[in-house]
Amino acid sequence: MPGLLRARCAMPARKAKQLRPCLLAMVAVAGSLCSGQTTNRLTGPISISVDATQAAHKILHAELSYPVQPGPVTLYYPKWLPADHSPDGPIWNVAGLKFLAGGKPIAWQQDSADMYAFHVDVPAQATQLTAQLDFLLSSPGPSIDFSASGTAKLFVLMWSQVMLYPAGLPAHSIMVQPKVSLPQGWKFSTSLPVATDSGNSITFKPVELDLLIDSPVQSGEYMKVVQLTPGENPSHEVDIVADNPSVLDLPPDLIENYKRLVREAQALYRSHHYREYHFLLTLSDHIMGLGQEHHESSDDRIPADGLADPNHRLLAAELFPHEFTHSWNGQYRRPVGLATPDFQQPMLGDMLWAYEGLTDYLGWVLAARSGLVTQDQAREHLAVLASMLDHRAGRTWRSLENTSRAAQVLYFSPPHWVSYRRGTDFYTESVLIWLEADVTIRKLTHDQKSLDDFCSAFLGGPETAPVIKPYTFEDLVAALNAIAPYDWRTFFRERLDSTSAHAPLGGITSGGWQLTYNDQPNAVMSAAQAAHEGGDYTSSIGLTIRGDGSVQDAIPGMPAFKSGMSPYTKIVAINGQTFSLDALNHALRDSAALVLLVDNSGFLESHEIAYHDGIRYPHLARNESETNYVDQILKSRTSGGH
């Protein structure tokens, strides 16, 4: 691979725990950090002070101080964040930017080509540069908006949103002294070590820039902490913040499931790469829903009733297992194309099928092993994924690896036309691929080895403080061959490069099951339709519809599309009856003529759909001729499991 490998802090565990953790082992082309940039003039640690006392009024104030030498300086606003895989740093919400030297304002200029770069000229005799900026918070909208991170009663500080850092240095080499002020009476939680906590002002210990960006601070008027491993080292806890104190109490059975999750993860990976771990859980209807990974915490945001409502709870069951797994897969081990030296270099998403896809698979497995879902529910979830992907019209032109490569644009694509365009399918389709890899290892080794052995060897490794260990496709293939010799290169390439019309269902069939359809509702699909007030008719007429009749997707090749149906239209009536999901379900069950009256941008159209096969829901049916590997994979690995 090109460039210079810069590995930091990959030391024995006993030494790592005695020192400040170092986060970054990055791959960088020598000299690339300074190419086309001014010489770095930083002479010491920088400081950042964030005033979040007005977070309830949707505004943050930040002041940053840089010890510098006189001359031209370039400062960056973070553009590419490791967990986002996209150049989506919300610079558009930065306001009130000012620079000062010696207490006097100095001119600044935004780069003409790179909107995330700012140039200033530090005057002679000045040794300190100060930047002041405001960040404008927002409310959730129809698209991804990381600025929607605060309400009247709570706030999640993402340091990248208020950060300007000097060009010319890798992020791991920039030391930062962080401080935050919160509204009076608010509590906080974070994985950052605290130096002093005085009232509503918290000063954290100095930390490397990359680890600071990796460590959000959750705060709010109402907060509760649930210890998952009391008295153990490392500690694990769920830190809950909400708009209303009535939702802070987790059900006792759910707490036990989370405790099992920690035990099951430890049994799987057999080591860890954090000093302590925080599940930062936000329960609110007024911030952007999120599941975001960090080395020592996860930023998990779900609706206020997300754990009380059984439908939402089932749909959120894999959130903690997925984000927790990222501490090993994505944080400790990261594909080289995603391990960049700072937050401006483009990230290459080619291997997101391993970063996110393997994590999605392991999240599914750990959710079942920890009892967050039953094995029946896990299989129902797998059936929904398999059916959805088997009806992806776009798979005949866009390969799975291309969905990884195009992640930076697909994340922001609308749900309309998703079957033909394809979305971030490297999450879901990779579940099928890694399931097949797991089953293949079990068969090759006569049940002596499994993907668990690969995970403990490749993702576990020696105990360390936070550190990134990049890997290549060849490294992954070699690690699998060390567990079970096989042509793993071809195994992945055939599935990643495929433009077959059908999904890779080999893991299901070789694992003792087959994808089938009948008129009995799928439990996971029913929960999704109830929670989101919509209808999924992917496997019958080929439509996905909102509760008000708005068509989100019409799948090319399926009956509705053939009749002329398309996204961005709205069903007004079914067979002469005012639209409702119940009316559509009734018509499908009756296998009667299906005539839809549709509003297409103000014009009414009639579409007769040639379909008489009834309503169809996906399920897995047991194939007794094959070993039931799927249930073996989902079985608990700890004595405290279900």
Specify the pLDDT at position 591. Answer: 78
What is the spatial distance between Cα 173 and Cα 524, in angstroms, rounded to a whole number?
46
Taking the CA atoms of residue 547, residue 551, residue 554 and residue 560 in that order, the dihedral angle to the nearest 10 degrees is 80
Q: Which of 387, 370, 284 shows the shortest CA–CA distance to 322?
A: 370
Specify the pLDDT at position 29. Answer: 33
Question: What would the two tokens of residue 412 be?
Answer: 């922001």
Specify the pLDDT at position 25. Answer: 38
Name every residue whose Cβ is closer than 8 Å to that of residue 403 and which is 6 or more positions away in sequence: 410, 422, 423, 424, 425, 426, 429
Identify the structural domains of the chain with CATH numbers, from first to last: 31-250+274-325 (2.60.40.3650), 333-512+626-634 (1.10.390.10), 523-617 (2.30.42.10)
**Residue whose pair of structure tokens reads 């390969």 in the numeric block:** 399
Mean pLDDT by 10 residues, the chain (642 residues): 27 28 37 45 93 97 96 97 94 98 96 97 95 95 86 97 96 97 97 94 97 98 98 97 96 97 98 97 96 97 95 97 98 97 96 98 98 98 98 98 97 95 98 98 98 98 92 98 98 98 98 97 96 95 97 98 98 96 94 92 96 96 97 89 44
Phi-psi region of 270 (alpha: psi -120 to 50; beta: other; left: phi over 0): left
Q: Report the 10 Å Cβ neighbour count for 576.
A: 7
User: Would you say the C-alpha torsion 416, 417, 422, 428 has a positive or negative sign?
Assistant: positive
Specify the pLDDT at position 281. Answer: 98
Taking the CA atoms of residue 347, residue 350, residue 353 and residue 358 in that order, the dihedral angle to the nearest 10 degrees is -60
Reduced to 3 states (helix: H, G, I; strand: E, B; else coil), residue 312 is helix
Contact 513, 622 (CB under 8 A): yes
What is the spatial distance between Cα 634 and Cα 642, in angstroms, rounded to a whole number?
11
Specify the pLDDT at position 41. Answer: 80
Q: Which residues are paired to 135 by β-bridges?
A: 60, 94
Specify the pLDDT at position 31. Answer: 35
Phi/psi for 480 (5° steps) reads -70, -40
Contact 522, 379 (CB under 8 A): no
Longest dimension (CA), the chain: 85
What is the spatial distance between Cα 147 and Cα 137, in angstroms, rounded to a whole number?
5
Q: Which residues are paired to 134 by β-bridges?
A: 61, 95
User: Would you say the C-alpha torsion 278, 282, 287, 288 has a positive or negative sign?
Assistant: positive
What is the spatial distance between Cα 354 and Cα 382, in angstroms, rounded to a whole number?
18
**Residue whose pair of structure tokens reads 């779900």 in the numeric block:** 302
Contact 400, 496 (CB under 8 A): yes
Contact 355, 335 (CB under 8 A): yes
Which amino acid belongs to residue 407?
A: A
Q: Report the 10 Å Cβ neighbour count for 371.
A: 22
Q: Report the 10 Å Cβ neighbour count for 526.
A: 15
Specify the pLDDT at position 142. Answer: 79
Name every residue whose Cβ is closer than 8 Å to that of residue 597 and which is 6 or more positions away in sequence: 571, 572, 573, 574, 604, 605, 606
| Count helices and strands in the chain by DSSP H and E runs | 20, 34
Q: Report the 10 Å Cβ neighbour count for 111.
A: 12
Long-range contacts of 457-461 (CB under 8 A, 24+ apart): 457/482, 457/483, 458/333, 459/269, 459/328, 459/329, 459/332, 459/333, 460/269, 460/270, 460/271, 460/328, 461/271, 461/332, 461/333
R_g (Cα) of the chain, nearest Å: 26
Specify the pLDDT at position 639. Answer: 67
Specify the pLDDT at position 382. Answer: 98
Which DSSP state fits 248?
A: -
